[in-house]
Structure 1
Amino acid sequence: MTVRVERDKATGVAVVTLDRERRHNAIDLETAAELTEVWREFRFAEDVRAVVLTGAGSAAFCTGIDRGVEVPQPGSPYSVDDPLAAIGPKAGDLWKPVVAAVNGMACGGAFYLLGESEFLIASSSATFFDPHTAYGMVSAYEAVYMAQRMPFGEAARMSLMGTAERLSAARAYEIGLVSELTAPEELLPAALRAAETLAGFPTEAVQGTVRALWSAKQSALQQALSQAPALISLGNLAPERQAELFGSRRPGPEFRLR
């Protein structure tokens, strides 16, 4: 198992932990399938009324898709087989509130999860970046999700700057991507406090409010996501060239605090 689930029936909160610490909680096909199953199972779990989503360890919340995953693609620019398409709670038709507790790096495919969480709480050591353009890849789904949560200019800068810089937790809090900033040791307790509050309210009202919030932007979101397959097919470099760029990567030392 690469996804750890802990339920507290007394509080109604489930903690979902990406449990691949040695791989910086990158998502392989097994992890993707487990996440999809978890969200769909939670729809029927009356003892789960709110969820905290986090990553194992302190180095990373999630670093997106595992580079070892090979997914054959159709030969049409209008079709893309995306192994991360169903990893988010909303993709799994779950309308119970999800609080993301972001510890360490959150990049690339992590935005599928952050984009479908209700709100983010982050450790002061968290950083956010999108490496796609640096590796000759189109940031499509990730950019769309972040454009829904951040001022457009901030989302554009992060999506375009690739590995050249990282958005600090402090800056993410200033622009509203993160709703609460904590010391590293206080991250999970803070997320649990918020989730326990939500779980303590009448669940029908909470889920209805979650659905109402998402309905406010879902039409635009779905229209934008529908363009992603063609943009990725037309704009991505060949896989061998992506691998070459990835293999020669250098860590981006720049942290944008302001």
Structure 2
Amino acid sequence: MADELLRERKGQTLWLTLNRPEVHNALNAVLAKHMVEAFEDGSADTTLRTVVLTGAGERSFCSGADLKENSGGIFRAADGGNPIAAVLRAIEACNKPVIARINGSVLAGGMGLVAACDLAYAADHAKFSLPEVRVGLFPMMVAARLTTQIPRRHLQEMAYLGETIDATTARQYGLVNGIAPADVLDTVVADVLDRLAQNSPDAIAAGKRALREMRNMAEGDILTFAERKIAELADTPDAHEGRQAFAEKRKPRWAE
């Protein structure tokens, strides 16, 4: 059996490819476990700057949970947790920016992967759908993330009707940052990776953690939290280097 998750390092970027194209890169318990491990390993690797998540082939990014393969296991593991929820948490906990390279259709739990990623860019032929209600389910975990990303009316329409939207509409909803023809998508992703590489990795990691923590705070506590965090960040080596480089009109040399 081919590896269900492909890992490839390209420079300072870890590429993770869902490799089950015969079932539209659907998630089973084994694949979910490998994904959690890959994101944890990527987060611990100090030589990496970014992670890209994509799917094998051109038809599908991810169709969500594999309903034909031990569906009970993908919805509830032996420890009582949910394997897909564990993947979403691993993406969000990764201290590197995670970019979704959406090569094809995104359904159900695949939408959760996109929502968990920090940035998302899609081929213009990609389709997006929350069809769970058509098989007696509901996108519970996906909705838990999408409620903060797209307007509630749009989310409810997608979740209740189970219908499909195109890439242009997905961008209008705020599901993706940008769309491009399939043959240009890699160029778009490469440009994003280049621009990320110019910025402080420590600042990005701190910012990602802070944004995650802010999501669960009461509105009145957010500014106080941010006030404390910017003071801490201002004393880091990258912040000192960034200010010095600005004053000297040169590119900053970030600590490795």
Asked if Structure 1 and Structure 2 have the same fold, meaning a TM-score greater than 0.5 normalized by the shorter chain, the answer is yes
The answer to whether the Cα contact below 8 Å between 2:49 and 2:197 also exists between their aligned partners in 1 is yes
User: 2:150 is aligned with what amino acid?
Assistant: M
2:46 maps to 1:46? yes
> C-alpha offsets along residues 181-211 of structure 1, whole Å, 9 cap, x if unaligned?
1001111221222123213322101111222
User: 1:4 is aligned with what amino acid?
Assistant: L
Residues of 1 paired with 2:154 and 2:80: CA distance? 27
Specify the alignment match of 2:178 in structure 1: 180
Specify the alignment match of 2:146 in structure 1: 146
Residues of 1 paired with 2:123 and 2:89: CA distance? 22
Q: SS at the partner of 2:82?
A: coil
The answer to whether the Cα contact below 8 Å between 1:96 and 1:206 also exists between their aligned partners in 2 is yes
User: 1:85 is aligned with what amino acid?
Assistant: A
Specify the alignment match of 1:248 in structure 2: none
Q: SS at the partner of 1:121?
A: strand
Residues of 1 paired with 2:92 and 2:204: CA distance? 18
CA positional deviation for 1:126? 0.8
Specify the alignment match of 1:245 in structure 2: none
2:118 maps to 1:112? no
Specify the alignment match of 2:125 in structure 1: 125
Specify the alignment match of 1:102 in structure 2: 102
Residues of 2 paired with 1:183 and 1:208: CA distance? 33
2:60 maps to 1:25? no
Specify the alignment match of 1:217 in structure 2: 215
- Counterparts of residues 188-227 of structure 1 (less than 5 Å): 188-219=186-217
Residues of 2 paired with 1:130 and 1:52: CA distance? 23
Q: SS at the partner of 1:96?
A: coil
Residues of 2 paired with 1:187 and 1:91: CA distance? 22
Structure 1 moving runs of 4+ over 6 Å: none
* Unpaired segments ≥5 residues, structure 1: 221-258
User: 1:172 is aligned with what amino acid?
Assistant: A
Residues of 2 paired with 1:174 and 1:138: CA distance? 23
CA positional deviation for 1:91? 5.6
Sort the Cα spacing of 1:80 and 1:26 in 2 relative to 1 into closer, same or farther, 3 A: same
Sort the Cα spacing of 1:56 and 1:114 in 2 relative to 1 into closer, same or farther, 3 A: same
Sort the Cα spacing of 1:69 and 1:196 in 2 relative to 1 into closer, same or farther, 3 A: farther
Q: SS at the partner of 1:88?
A: helix
Residues of 2 paired with 1:188 and 1:56: CA distance? 14
Residues of 1 paired with 2:217 and 2:35: CA distance? 24
The answer to whether the Cα contact below 8 Å between 1:123 and 1:184 also exists between their aligned partners in 2 is yes
CA positional deviation for 1:128? 0.7
Residues of 2 paired with 1:80 and 1:149: CA distance? 28
Q: How many residues align?
A: 212
The answer to whether the Cα contact below 8 Å between 1:101 and 1:120 also exists between their aligned partners in 2 is yes
CA positional deviation for 1:152? 0.9
Sort the Cα spacing of 1:173 and 1:190 in 2 relative to 1 into closer, same or farther, 3 A: same
* Unpaired segments ≥5 residues, structure 2: 219-256
Specify the alignment match of 1:62 in structure 2: 62
The answer to whether the Cα contact below 8 Å between 1:127 and 1:167 also exists between their aligned partners in 2 is yes
* Structure showing greater relative contact order (alpha-carbon pairs closer than 8 Å, 6 or more residues apart): 1
The answer to whether the Cα contact below 8 Å between 1:6 and 1:15 also exists between their aligned partners in 2 is yes
The answer to whether the Cα contact below 8 Å between 2:112 and 2:142 also exists between their aligned partners in 1 is yes
